[in-house]
Structure formats: C-alpha cells, structure tokens
Amino acid sequence: MSLLSLFSVSLTLNNHTILNDVSFDVAQGEVIGLIGPNGSGKTTLFNLLSGFLKPTSGSILFKDENITNVIPSKRARLGFGRVFQHFGIFRDMTLEENVRVALEALPRDKRKELGNMDELVDATLDMALLKPYAKKKAGSLSGGQMRLLEIARTLTSGKELFLLDEPTAGVSPKMTHQVADMISKLKQQGKTVLIIEHDLPFIAQICDRVIVLDVGKVVLSGNPTEVRDSEELKEIYFG
Amino acid sequence: MQFLANGLIAGSLAALIAGGLALVYGVLGVFNLALGQMVLIGGYATWWLYQVVELPFIISVFGGMAIGALVAWISFEIFVKPFYKRHVFLPLVTTIALSMILDGIILLLFKERPRSILPSMKRMMEFGGVRISTEQISLILFTLVLLVCFAYILHSTAFGRRIRAVVQGEHTAISLGICAPSLHCFLFIMSGVLAACGGIFLGIDQNITPTLAFPITIKAYAAIIAGGKGNFWGAIFCAYLIAFIEQYAIGIHWFGSFYIPAGYQQVVALLFIITFLLFRPYGLFSSASRRA
C-alpha cells in the first residue's frame, strides 16, 4: 500500500511553471532519494508536500486521504516530519527545549503513546550524541551537531514520513557518517523517508529508489545503481 | 530620588505597552501603529464604565480590558490578518488607517476633554523624601507581577516554548505541528489587553486625552527599537531606561538654573529612535534576528 501518492501535481508561480505533472507513489518503509540540478524543483516539491505551498493542479494523498488543502501544521500532526536545508532548530533555546517543543506539539494521544516526556527528551539527545550539552543553547552547536539534533528530534517525535532536505549540507565528513547511520535507523524502524541530496554515493548507500527531477518534471526513476549509470542522468547534469 | 520613583512609574506604564508590542513584532513581524489608540480605548472604556455607567471599579477595569481585547481582535481580523503575509509594509499602512479611524471614534465618543477614571484626590505617601500615590505603587507592583508571570510563561511552559519557537523559526515551528496563525491572533489580542491595561493605569494616575496616542506609540517604538526588534526583555528594559532618562532630563537643573520644560520629555524617545537606527539598528540586546 502507498503511504504517499502524488497525482499530476503542477505548480505555476507568476506564469512560471515550477513543477509540471509530477506523479509518483511512495510505499510504506521506502527510502527515496530525490535528485536533480539546482532549480529543478526538489525543495519546492518538499514545500508542496509539507503544505507550505499549494499545487496549481493535481492532488496529494497520504494514507489514501486527500491532503492537498491541509495546512502545514496539521500535516505535521498527521505524521509529516521535515528537516530543512538551513538547520531547522531554535538557536536561542536549549537542546532540551528544542526536543521538548517538538514533543509538546504532537496531538495528545500520540504524546501519551510515546511515553514519559523527560525520558524521551533524554533518549533523543542520547541518540544524537548530544546529551552532555542538554542545557546549552542550540546555536552553540556545530553544523553537524545541529543536523543530528534536528534529525533525532524528528525521529523521536513519532513522525511517519520524513522529508530530509540535504541532510549532509554543512556537515563534516565524519558527521556525514553519523547522519547516514541515523537515516539507516529510520529505515530499520520501517519509517518512510524522502531525501533531497546532491551526494550521489550517499544516496546510493541509503536509498531504495531514486527519482530524478529536471525543470520541474520527473525524468527518471529506478534503483540507485540503474539511475547512477544511466545516460539520461549524465545528460541532465553535464549536458 | 523623586525622579527615580517617577521613572519607575512611567517605565512601568511604558513596559506594559512595549512588552505586548515586542511580542507582536517578534512573532508576526508586524508594527502596529494604532497601538497608542488601543491604549486610549482601554482607558476611555474603563472611564465610561466607571464614571458614566457607574459599574463597580473592579468590573469597570475588567470591562476596559475586555473591550481592549475585542478591539484588538477586530483590528487583527480586518487590518492585519489579510495583509501581513503578503508584504511586510502593508500592515504599517493598514494600522495607520486603523489609528485614524480609532482617533475619529475616540473624539466622537469621548470629546477632547481630559478624562480621569479616579478624579478624586490621590492618597499620597512619603518614603525618604519620595512622594508616591497608592495607585502608582499598585501600577509598579502590577507591572512587576505581570512581568514575572510572563517570564514564567515564556520560559517554563509549553505555551511559552511555542511562542519562542515561532519567533525563532516560524517554518520549523509549523513543520513540528505548531499552529502559528492561531498564536498570531492570540498574541495580537494579548498585546491589546496589555495596551488597555496601560490606558487604564494612565486614566487612574493622570488624565487621558485623545492627543496622548502619538507620544505613547513613539515611546513604545523607541523601546522596541532600542531593545532589539522583537526582543521582549530588551523592550521592557529599554522602556524603563527611556522613562528614567526622561525623568532625569526634566528633573534636574542644567547649567545652574536652566531646566528642560516637561513638554520636551518626548524628545528623549525620539532621540533613542534616531540614535539606535543610525548606530545600532539591531538594538541593544538582539542580533539581526528576532528573539523572545
């Protein structure tokens, strides 16, 4: 069964077509890499999925329910977790508060399901290897640590679909491995993940399927090895 | 010492108004230029309920706050909500229009005469040469209690964390499931209630006249610009600072026998705005980003 389905989704802004007839299904537990040159519409597609933009035409289904017009905060409560390209953390809040605020935003029944909040906050920081810094301001962390905090927070807040926008951007090579480990943990837990990434070896390492976008259209889809070796991909990136 | 007490009184009044405004700017990014009129509406509504309708004093005060909340809510729905997401400057224009409409309504309903909620003689006390009325002591204490409550809510409750999250990263907060639009409306109403409280105290401590709106707005803006736009605690600190400097400037003799007439005290707030915009536009406490 598909967890997420896009049917002929298009977006036009100021007479400029940003996304053109995008359709694909995402199965429960699948890890999908979304690649394409700059300006191909990857982040716009994430903005459509998380509800910050509304498609001009087409529809988006989540668990067979049409969510095309559902507001972003409600989508988050339905189970959409987003990791932003430019560190979606609250820099003037402590690490502990950063996790707590995410847990407190969950619907009450989901919060109860997850168990004791203090323990969950501890477990999240532990997972991100950041427990010793629990009382420090998040703004004092390195880029990699911020990314780990953001992913761990999304991971423990009971989300079902993860939209990770360039999770290794601004992260040191050592930390990139930790980010990859964390995404693997998501996969092991049966979570569904969509990742925007420019690092093809990273994508090949963790994704089940890769979708290639170019000028707002899906031009290629398949397993990472097939896509990496395809002539179309070389054509898109190198002309 | 007397000017310190006067500064504390004027600062408490300004802090109430500037604090609400700083929260609104921090969360919505909106400068509400009808703030002074909202202050007056709180004061006039309480005066009308107490002096004209002759309701008990406490009920009149709560009535004034409720009317302040109602006016803020209607203002938000009509003059802010449809515009603030479209362009940052639109609410500036719409709230100027709102201030003109409210000015007209105030003049029409309450005329130009000065109004005082408690016109009888104030009970004055004297501590170490400082003369202060019981009403002024209540204003200082009320503001302190309110600030402590705000500190607790902002830093120790789930609701406060949500507010701070929206101030520091609205998209991230929304993507976590926080409903920012309803927070926006709530905070705008809260700032209206705080402004109304300011107006009520103004009407108790002094007289209220329709011309007071502009100086009140200027003083509140001076506090939030100097405190760092959107920085709640910065605005509170600067509201007190400006009040102390104002009182000091008019309370002492300069160069022997020369003193600054009381009417010029507003200049201090304007100088604050000019100085900070020129030399430290991000304010005393904030970096370039909005904070709470």
Residue pair B3/B69 in contact by the 8 Å Cβ criterion: no
Reply yes or no on whether the pLDDT at B53 is more than 90.
Answer: yes
The pair phi, psi for residue A114, each rounded to 5°, is: -75, -20
Q: Measured between alpha carbons, how far apart are the two ends of chain B, in Å? A: 33
Cα–Cα distances in angstroms (integers) from residue B291 to residues A236, B20, B89, B234, in the given order: 43, 14, 20, 10
CATH 1.10.3470 assigned to domain B2-279? The reply is: yes
List, for residues B182-226, the tens digit of each pLDDT value: 888 998 999 999 999 999 988 988 889 988 888 888 888 888 888
A86 touches chain B (CB under 8 A): no
Q: Which of A79, A109, A155, A99 is nearest to B161 (CA)?
A: A99
In percent, the amount of chain B with pLDDT more than 90 equals 30
Strands A57-62 and A65-66: antiparallel
Q: Which of A82, A93, A104 sits opposite B175 (nearest CB)?
A: A82
List, for residues B228-260, the tens digit of each pLDDT value: 877 888 889 988 988 888 888 877 777 777 777
A224 touches chain B (CB under 8 A): no
Higher pLDDT, B128 or A36: A36
Q: Which of B161, B168, B180 sits opposite A100 (nearest CB)?
A: B161
- For residue B93, the number of C-alpha atoms closer than 13 Å in the C-beta half-sphere is 8
CB contact under 8 A, B175 and A80: yes
The residue to which tokens 């780990």 are assigned: A148
Contacts of B177 in chain A (CB under 8 A): 73-74, 76-77, 102, 105-107
Looking at residue B99, what is its pLDDT? 93
CB contact under 8 A, B161 and A50: no
Reply yes or no on whether the pLDDT at B89 is more than 80.
Answer: yes
Q: Dig out the tokens for A108 from the structure.
A: 């009450």
The residue to which tokens 């890890």 are assigned: A31
Q: Å from B176 to nearest chain A CA?
A: 6
List, for residues A138-174, the tens digit of each pLDDT value: 999 888 888 889 888 888 887 889 999 888 877 777 7
Looking at residue B286, what is its pLDDT? 63
State the ipTM, two decimals: 0.86
Q: Which residues, other chains included, contact A41 with Cβ-Cβ below 8 Å and sequence gap of 6+?
A: A11, A18, A19, A22, A213, A215, A216
Which chain A residue has the Cα nearest residue B181? A73
In percent, the amount of chain B with pLDDT more than 70 equals 97
Q: Which domain covers residue A8, as residue numbers?
A: 2-238
- The count of structural domains within chain A is 1
CB contact under 8 A, B176 and A157: yes
3-class secondary-structure state, position A21: strand
Q: Supply the pTM of this predicted model.
A: 0.79
Q: Å from B233 to nearest chain A CA?
A: 14
Q: Å from A31 to nearest chain B CA?
A: 20
Q: Which of A73, A76, A90 sits opposite B168 (nearest CB)?
A: A90
The distance of Cα A125 from the centroid of its chain, to the nearest Å, equals 19
> In CATH, what number is assigned to the domain containing residue A123?
3.40.50.300
Q: Which residues, other chains included, contact B178 with Cβ-Cβ below 8 Å and sequence gap of 6+?
A: A73, A101, A105, B162, B165, B166
d(CA B120, CA A228): 86
Compute mean pLDDT per 10 residues along chain A, 239 residues long, and list them. 89 89 90 89 92 92 91 91 87 92 88 85 88 91 87 84 86 80 82 88 86 89 84 74
